[in-house]
Structure 1
């Protein structure tokens, strides 16, 4: 609205007080006309007929709205204290928006000039939006409004499904109904959208919810097989037009201890015009009776063309529960542009009217020239932005579908709006825009202004690095594109290992694309490079970690897996986990890496106590300060090696350091895959996204991951070690407060909160930590300097003793 992307003719109203208070003047933060939209007649609260309507021209996913009154340079003082929202997808059927507790009325403004933003929970999927002020006869009402969201690319306009059911569990009622469904509901749900499309994935334990003050089971829609004699639940999905479907992703609960499992099989039918195709597709996921975590199940739809899909999900246990269903597709008219030119020449014997052909070809050529011009303009703008922007500019540019920057307090944009997740925190004078790069998204380079970094420390804008999607859902090392290009021409320098020599011990973790298993490997010493050897007795089995790619992983994940193997095969340092061998001859693809017998550093230290009286009284195992210092020095050495190769780790923490004999440390990347550490990752719409408590302010604010941001994380890791991992960093702050604290680093008015000095931390070591947390990246030490400092301090301590 405020940027003019929505045209005047797309803004209408039920009435207007005058020409100068017409609907087109109802744009947030604009003072044109008389400064706002004002209705002609104040209606009754129980008969609210006045509205300001916006036509978005296509379906959009709206997550937040903003309102403002009429200020008009100080002469106006009309505003709405409360309002309601109605929306429509087709312009005929209007739906009243309600929050997750069922409340329709939205609290709005208390003066005429401040902007008030309100999260739409649940979000709205609609083309038409109406703001309907609740009239108070004590004052006149005027409004300026704004919408935040993105185009609804799924194309789904409704789903029809059986009504969710009720479970009784230990005397407690679990309500598994679709509480935000906006269609008709009786014995079934028809012509609406609801929780299966709201962008929120349920927790592993379905009795809990992301949302406060709601009932148990709220996140899921669930059914029991006792109500379905055919053994399946049928859901029909209607789309805006004929589309080419590639995949369907279904987020399922798998709490098998409660007799809840993912579906055993799904059978999908397709309707392209008016008739359903006779031959459906069928898919059976691998059943998991080991890990109770909720998960996405990806179903390939093999590029079927359809305007509707009917899927039958078969029970594999008593209960089946879904929290989100998404489709990946391209609309038919988008494909036609690419298919039409070769189609013209398919049949040389077919006669067509020459004049029509010339006109058609001329139009297509014109379209091509226009597209080329648009691409050139976009590229020019990106180059210009890189030359002119700096990280002190605010607001930050945002290259994504979801655009618009007011003076907000907080802007959450669902992961439905692409890879970017935007938050905004409003301060008294500065408005800081937080940009989150979702680790769950792949194959998209993010763009953000360049950040100055220390000399000798390489800087990699997100556009300049290759981010590989790890098999367990997190990014592996961020690799400069140039380095990746150099690697791409080399063969993998590791040998094939026989699967039969691997013995499964336990699952360490899993993610969307794969799993990590702890295994025993027999005779793996014979497959090692000459420069590497195990400290084990000959013919003794060796503990290894096996990263395994799911057999149903998509092509992109498979390619990333192969690239990860290629990268890992080049990492050869005593303090970096080593790739030992691979299993590539058949699916599932596996990479075998070292595993240290004492597990990760976080769990290792939390089981120990510092040397002293408390340890003596509790008879607990101890770790001396000199051993802590030795381990920290090894981490610095490993990171020095990675930075020398221009690799950025992006998730350095004690959970990602493994401990071997004699306090040997090796840096790994398994942490994100483990449920044990899910609380260390900030969740957006139910997905583990970013380890914000270990991240530098510029990584959170600007999406910049550099060697300097790894240095920041090293400071936090060092703090963890010196507290023996007894508490989480910034444990006194909520996730939102941690994000707000990064805003204080941005403003640099000495109000930022630092991690406190641990009781057993010497002053020089705490000074080193603080240097890692400098606001200015140029003032942070390099890993070479950190390693040198720790070695010097160790020598000085030994001399004094």
Structure 2
């Protein structure tokens, strides 16, 4: 929220904004209460629109933070540039002082992705004359949403006084939009619908012009101001020294409307006030400047005439304040109106010096009279009214106010007691189920842990171990989740799951949907130098590799030049190096796109000399595996240094770094990129890169290899948008926030992991397919945010439980702006709950090629 002058923010919860003014001069800061779109006080019949795309996207669904229907109001037609035909209209039933608006797009639980990037506002006090809102610099366009989920709150500077408000989406290109909105403010008790006054004038101060015009007046302005409201009712009081202004980056004197006596031979300025109905007036307050050193003083006398029906009263009311020649501070002058009944008022303000300047005029009328308003307020509307807080309320109103406050306090206490009682009762109910659940899980998981430990310590037993039956697997599912309490605490649930450090063995002992996948067979778990695995490799494949020699040559260490440490772990480090003469060590089918005498960038994985025997064996096995991987879209093992410690493997490193950082430095092609002069990547090139990732994963899956950490951070970019899949994103401190650390266990990229990988430790090609869908989403959003950025890590884990339960409550990543429906369908297929229904990488590769045709 933009800064407000002299205000202290007290609380912001559920979009209820309470602000306490440090000075009680003016009240724009305290009128910031939601008017009922999200709370339901505004009825469906009071929300209308120019059109609707369907019955489920009608105007009544355009409520902030609501997901009913299809999730928002969506117009029937696509919004075109410079077209203002579509709008969402709210009828507040009575005049309100509106200081803030909130907007949101169509999220619909992750299915929708339509939002208004910009919009305009029109408002009306009578339903016939519509006024375009402009800010204090004269701009009409308001910045809207950047995604479909987040709420964008915008201060209206100046605020508006209206009964009807229209939100009109704006676009600089043809696009689909949807909106949810809320209005913030309070009821306008003044009842003033317009004031007519002479146009403000210009003062020459030290040779510089100072303008005292009413720059936000929404009526007609020629020689006078007619049928409108402006700075005299904007809730902002001028400063003592008019040569300064408030925080709006405007000219000196901006906050005041002022006149010089040279323009008024009668010695007074006449201001006419029109009200919504006949009222019983008690006081009028006028905020005046009093810099008498500059020949500016408050008025010396005001004479007011009243009109109740058609005629003006014959006898006016006269009031003369005390003239102050000592204190130059601006001040409110309270004029008693002696309970005159009127629907209009005409006041003559007499000059006390050369200049007279006002910044705010407010009225107080009898509250009993107000209850007979033509448009009765809606039941339960709640928010306080816009009134001057310095006004002294009579004793009867004070008693009513105190009674209301006491009642509210009792209601709040009752609500708190009920909430606490429900929590205690729920915990009592949960204890029994948790005790039973703990016992069952302890027995089940201890048995599994014993089996895993035996398998881990006796690799030869892996191939002969039998998988549990389908019925036993189903039983485990049923016992873990339907009881519910542990699902509410993801950290407890994760602590009960089998060790993720043995997740490969786990996968070998569990079935998904009753059918074993290739990677659910016995898995050899290789401990990488940074604590992660390069790939999960089936034991059968590892056995075939174990009998073969390493197919790469020894590289002289002296030809490696250190450039940067990419990361480190328990057993070693990863370095970015330059290698001289690497071309001599390449296979015939591989070459660098540089001259022979130039050094090339390589990544060097280095095992610490003090690493234990198991880590050394794993390192040598990883070399054997990597030496067999030969695909244009997989990082190649180039050479090794294994004749002496520390053991090293040397792999490719692409000149443009990883895909995540590469896309973060670029913008999509379009008007915004031209304005910012940023480097761009076209949609076709994004698809080309995604297709290469799918091709590399197709190759890995053909070898029954499971990557387990596919993401843009693990894809490297070369010349001409060439992509190669790597494995050391986990080792980089840059991406530590992408991994969820479980105490005493592995560090997991949960935002890219399938539900079965998180909850059951199952890593298969199907789980790699899930991660590819997230990687594709990252690519088409230019890596501008983390997946599920609106969710905490714990909420991401909770969301996997929704996938397991499959009760249509799971949250999906939204469709990126650049993403066509056909490609988003590929993503959604990758995130299917049933692993057998997810496409293969061959299917994905073919679908991406067809989408580019």
TM-score of the aligned structures, taking structure 2 as reference length? 0.45
